[in-house]
Amino acid sequence: MRPQPASEQWQCELIGELILRYYFLQPAPTQWVAVGLLGTEAGTIFRVGCGSEPETALVDLRERLLVALSELTERSVPSRLVSCAA
């Protein structure tokens, strides 16, 4: 699915069971910003991604959201000790 770079027009994308809502801004001729919200059970994650084209800004946004999700998962999963004795 190719993103539509319409300024401030919200778009939605399903990521697993989560919905990513995002829109694009173009603050300069060679700069694009993807502004995104990802709703999770723990709350809404807000991130932005940047690139020279809408597609690269969206890729950057997805990468930043992936980092935020992994950090959220690490905090919410308690540590477990596993015995290796047979």
Tens digit of each residue's pLDDT (9 = 90 or more) over 33-68: 999 999 988 889 999 999 999 999 999 999 999 999
Tens digit of each residue's pLDDT (9 = 90 or more) over 14-25: 988 889 999 999
Using alpha carbons only, what angle is made at residue 48 by residues 53 and 19, rounded to the nearest 5 degrees? 100
With the C-alpha atoms ordered 8, 29, 55, 4, is the resulting torsion angle positive or negative?
Answer: positive
**What is the C-alpha to C-alpha distance for residues 46 and 35, in angstroms, rounded to an integer?**
8
Mean residue pLDDT across the chain: 84
Share of the chain above pLDDT 70, in %: 77
Provide the token pair at 49. 């991604």
Report which of residues 8 and 38 the model is more confident about.
38
Q: Check residue 36 and give its pLDDT.
A: 96
